[in-house]
Amino acid sequence: MLYIILLFLLLAAGMPIAVGMIATGLLYVVLEMAMDPLIAAQRVATGIDSFPLLAIPFFMLAAELMNFAGITDRIFRLAKSMVGAISGGLAYVNVLASMLFAGMSGSAVADAGGLGRIEIKAMKDDGYEVDFAAALTAASSTIGPIIPPSISFVIYGLTAGVSIGGLFAAGLLPGLMMGGSLMALIAFYSKKRKYGRTQRFSWRELKDALAHAFLALMTPVIIVGGILAGIFTPTEAGAFAVLYAFILGKFIYRTLHWRDIPELIFNTALSAANVLFIIAASALIGWILTAEQVPIKLAEMIVAYSASPWVLLLLINLLLFALGCFMAAAPVIIMLTPILLPVTSLMGIDPMHLGVVMVLNLMIGLITPPVGLCLFVVADVAELPVMRVVKSLIPFFIPLVIVLLLITYIPSLVLFLPGLLGYA
Amino acid sequence: MHELPKRAAWFDETREPLFRLLFWGTVIAFGIMVVAAWLQVISRYFFNYPLGWTGELAQIMMFWFTFLAVGTLVRKRRLMKVDAFVIQFPRRAQLFISAVVNLASAVFLGWLWYLSLRLMELASRQISTALHIPYKYIYLSLAVGLAGAVVYFVAIAIADLRLACRANLDSVPDSTRQLEDR
């Protein structure tokens, strides 16, 4: 307990998460376990000794390349040609474009920063309030890591030992539900605020936009289709996605130049290393927890109090929501999964179900203050104070929380598709 | 937090070569990792002849780019952390807390760096399965990366302490949050 408090104190003081874990782990190994601390170095060094982990940098690089290649413009044009003719058209376009982009990138921040820039400008030019445009962009960016592929699902799958293909399948329906629920809210706003159409519907424009975006749209077919059909492992799919995005950007769209590549690789490497270093450090904490049988003891304690799975899931959601307000999604997944999984498994909760609940909850955390990455990115893009975006965002939490509660308490919404594809 | 002060010339001089080394080391390791994984996919799916060494090379390069990037992440103050509580304090107190935390981080990572040298020694006879690379060269990535991180933690601690001791903090840029990470 003392060491858990120490870890929280170090993190609250602003020590980097991975360093805080290493510091606590080293002190515990030496002072409590009275062992040679060499084991700590060994655990940290071998913490990322896993081939499937390569999927994390690959999916990150693929998202970066796609943003760079200008795929976002093509996706936006396609979404506009599809739903731009409805009242409140551009607001629907915002959500639909995020859903389409979600099938390619798997990162909420890539959506908020890349697509968000185009969406907010277009909505502003079309007469929408910039606060509303920014709030909607932030809310719709959370769909990115739910509709496959998803970097967060890769991290959860590797931490929990759950099939990543299965998680990808499990995220599809909740992702569509998020998009649908946001569109329902837009319908309400459009009627109330009398938003107009963006353009007249034209089959010709739809056909042109589809042709324009066709190669980009093939990305989810190749990545997700390849994984679900059992052709690719997630790591190979990630590598292939990078190759495909590189060919699109360099040789077909010709937006990527050799001189851009070192900087692009460097930025991706930093983002990936940030997550991988926490995974390495968590291997030390995970080893200590296992050696001290903490997850099992905790699971037995909770089961002894006979809490129902319903109550447990509610408590998990509250805990994740609280943590998500202060921390990024990846470290929460890496730190909490090994602790929560034995408890939920004893309660009969499917690990795939837990994963989708965790990730969706933490994605809502990306748009909550005081620490919400997408919130900051969107506020930056819209050139608005963060608190003004937060104020406009409040109504958008309603549909997202409803979807979270639905998938929490109706597991079949998550498990139906993986079951159908033979994963569950 | 803020950028490092430009006045600290001694810090700039030691920073640039190290930064460039870490930059190119990270880019090259990441690039080799990507190409190795492509070779693996292409050889397996297009030629039906999987190359045994590509997966191992990609994994070794992941070790290298990850640990090399840690130093740069420290330099850019981008290592993931919780700053919601610290930013509630007055600027001067924030800088003092940052200096202490960075110094403590340097001590713990310095300890891990020393252990990583011992680990290299221990693993000197172990070799990897496909490429027959001694494990000490794989664990060297941890030692090199941590060394860079420790240097930067100490440098940032000193810079923050010097700023905190300044009479006037008005010219110090305000806190910024990092937006790049996913």
Amino acid at residue number B32: I
B145 contacts B26 by C-beta, under 8 angstroms:
no
- Cross-strand pairs, B127: B134
| pLDDT confidence of residue B45 | 82
Instruction: Say yes or no for a CB contact (<8 Å) between A15 and B111.
Output: no
Q: Among partner residues A45, A110, A265, which is closest to B31 by beta-carbon distance? A: A265
| pLDDT confidence of residue B181 | 44
**Stretches in chain A below the pLDDT threshold 70:** 306-307, 424
Cα A324 from chain centroid (whole Å): 12
Given CB atoms, is A155 within the 8 Å cutoff of chain B? no
Percentage of residues of chain A with pLDDT beyond 90:
53
Closest CA to A233 of A21, A423, A52: A52
B112 contacts A22 by C-beta, under 8 angstroms:
yes
- Cross-strand pairs, B134: B127
Instruction: Say yes or no for a CB contact (<8 Å) between A57 and B30.
Output: yes
For residue B98, what pLDDT band results from cuts at 50, 70 and 90? very high
So what's the ipTM on this one? 0.88
Instruction: Say yes or no for a CB contact (<8 Å) between A38 and B122.
Output: yes
| pLDDT confidence of residue A228 | 85
CA B136 to chain A, closest CA, distance in angstroms equals: 11
Closest CA to A287 of A31, A34, A30, A40: A40
**Between these two residues, B13 and A55, which has the higher pLDDT value?**
A55
| pLDDT confidence of residue B175 | 44
- Which chain B residues are closer than 8 Å to A235 by Cβ? 37
* A–B interface: beta-carbon pairs under 8 A: 202
pLDDT in tens, A56-90: 999 889 888 988 888 888 888 899 899 888 888 89
| pLDDT confidence of residue B5 | 45
Instruction: Say yes or no for a CB contact (<8 Å) between B112 and A265.
Output: no
Closest CA to A68 of A199, A259, A212: A259
- Tell me what the mean pLDDT of segment B77-83 comes to: 87
- Which chain B residues are closer than 8 Å to A44 by Cβ? 112, 142
d(CA B73, CA B66): 10
- Which chain A residues are closer than 8 Å to B31 by Cβ? 265
Given CB atoms, is A52 within the 8 Å cutoff of chain B? no
Instruction: Say yes or no for a CB contact (<8 Å) between B181 and A17.
Output: no
**Between these two residues, B6 and A198, which has the higher pLDDT value?**
A198
Instruction: Say yes or no for a CB contact (<8 Å) between B112 and A41.
Output: yes
For residue B8, what pLDDT band results from cuts at 50, 70 and 90? very low
Alpha carbon dihedral A276, A282, A284, A287, in 10-degree steps, equals -120
Cβ-based burial of B12 (10 A; exposed 0-12, middle 13-18, buried ≥19): middle
Length of chain A counted residue by residue: 424
Instruction: Say yes or no for a CB contact (<8 Å) between B101 and A14.
Output: yes
Amino acid at residue number B176: T
- Please list, in sequence order, all residues whose beta carbon lies within 8 angstroms of the beta carbon of residue A379, skipping any fewer than 6 positions away: A134, A385, A386, A388, A389
A54 secondary structure, DSSP code:
G
Given CB atoms, is A377 within the 8 Å cutoff of chain B? yes
d(CA B70, CA A45): 13
Annotate B52-110 with DSSP letters as a single string: HHHHHHHHHHHHHHHHHHHHHHHHTT-S----TTGGGS-HHHHHHHHHHHHHHHHHHHH
- Which chain A residues are closer than 8 Å to B101 by Cβ? 10, 13-15
Instruction: Say yes or no for a CB contact (<8 Å) between A266 and B109.
Output: no
For residue B12, what pLDDT band results from cuts at 50, 70 and 90? low
- Which chain A residues are closer than 8 Å to B82 by Cβ? 11-12, 14, 17, 326-327, 371
Provide the sign of the torsion angle of the four alpha carbons A302, A306, A309, A310, taken in this order.
negative
Pair of tokens at residue B25: 């080391």
d(CA A398, CA A405): 11
d(CA B46, CA A126): 48
pLDDT in tens, A20-64: 999 999 999 999 999 999 999 999 998 898 888 899 999 889 888
In angstroms, the Cα distances linking B82 to A20, A80, A344, B73, B132 are 11, 39, 27, 15, 41
Q: Quickly tell me which residue has 């919130």 as its tokens.
A: A375
| pLDDT confidence of residue B179 | 40
Cα B108 from chain centroid (whole Å): 14
Instruction: Say yes or no for a CB contact (<8 Å) between A38 and B97.
Output: no
